[in-house]
Structure 1
């Protein structure tokens, strides 16, 4: 693991099912480097727009000002919302913008965090934003605090798999939508949850399985495979 990750705080979020998810919040250095990469791309686009607008005269100057304004303020918003929280700079540094609960960031939160870059820049060179990141446990600048967003390291996606030894088992009682979703989630993510924690969660659904402990967990996983259509 890179040294930069070791010094960053670990952010923990607990789901309603009692499962903890942990991500590494990105500190100031990788975020500054990502910003510099994005700035380089924007400057390149500015040059192209400037050259093209020179051939149009006065109308081109007006169009140049409008396009540079939109690019400066909405370039990050476009990528954060439509490109899984990653501008080209963040993608190059392995970073991603998410909501505080690790869900994908939306238009509202992205617009807020980027419009407040002006406040983070004050008095110069993003001094306020840097101070804010150093004082908050999750390295959040003012825009992040207002929008409820985080910048985290992008973890490599792990395929969700099911133990091939588990055989499909039809539930003996009707299941609610929430119960079905919970059983499927537990079945797919069992590889990343300790056995004791799995049994603890399975015991909550004893009325569904009719058993507790390891027997109840195995039965629950069988129901999960059945709900998945018998897929392995």
Structure 2
């Protein structure tokens, strides 16, 4: 398959000319919308992780015997494994199977696609999310945010390696910050 040709435009727009000579234009999602989506996703993961820890805490402390002397007690290892799977799998599986979106991205109105304008694939989502570990260094996604801030198409390291880009969904405002129109009883808009 031929690689797409990029057309330069404004700093917030990515244009792709496909092999069929069709120009696709996307508005890239900036650091603010990406950070908002990340905060929402982090809040969801915090609640899930808290629930996992509470449930396993009940199991651990509900036993009457000494936990650390019991050789066949693998509860702590299971907690760590479940926590890793939930935290890594949340972003990876949702982006791979939910059209390039997580819950936070859906609420903010952004989506992950490939550089050629096609939907994100399972492989691109896997690569992108494996590099999430590097983007999160040293803490709080500082490196990823710094790279995203200076990249012309608002890409973090995982996006550059996976060949993906985060874009604003076309023709749609953020459902999180959508303004409701005031209407009079007769149905006419006040605006």
TM-score by length of 1: 0.61
Corresponding residue of 1:17: 20
Corresponding residue of 2:143: 128
Q: CA RMSD in A?
A: 1.7
1:110/1:10 Cα in 2 relative to 1: closer, same or farther (>3 Å)?
same
Corresponding residue of 1:65: 80
Structure 2: gaps (5+ residues): 1-9, 61-72, 173-191
TM-score by length of 2: 0.74
Which structure's relative contact order is higher, taking Cα pairs within 8 Å and 6+ residues apart?
2
Corresponding residue of 1:113: 128
Partner-residue secondary structure (3-state), 1:55: helix
Corresponding residue of 2:164: 149
For the 8 Å contact 2:97–2:122, the answer to whether it is kept is no
Query: Between Structure 1 and Structure 2, how many residues are aligned?
Result: 151
**Superposed counterparts of 1:194-205, under 5 Å:** none
After TM superposition, the runs of 4+ consecutive aligned structure 1 residues lying more than 6 A away are: none
Q: Distance in 1 between matches of 2:100 and 2:47?
A: 22
Corresponding residue of 1:39: 42
Structure 1: gaps (5+ residues): 1-6, 158-232
1:95/1:24 Cα in 2 relative to 1: closer, same or farther (>3 Å)?
same
Q: Distance in 2 between matches of 1:18 and 1:38?
A: 37
Partner-residue secondary structure (3-state), 1:86: coil
For the 8 Å contact 1:8–1:26, the answer to whether it is kept is no
Partner-residue secondary structure (3-state), 1:56: helix
For the 8 Å contact 1:113–1:144, the answer to whether it is kept is yes
Q: Distance in 2 between matches of 1:51 and 1:60?
A: 13
**Superposed counterparts of 1:134-173, under 5 Å:** 134-156=149-171
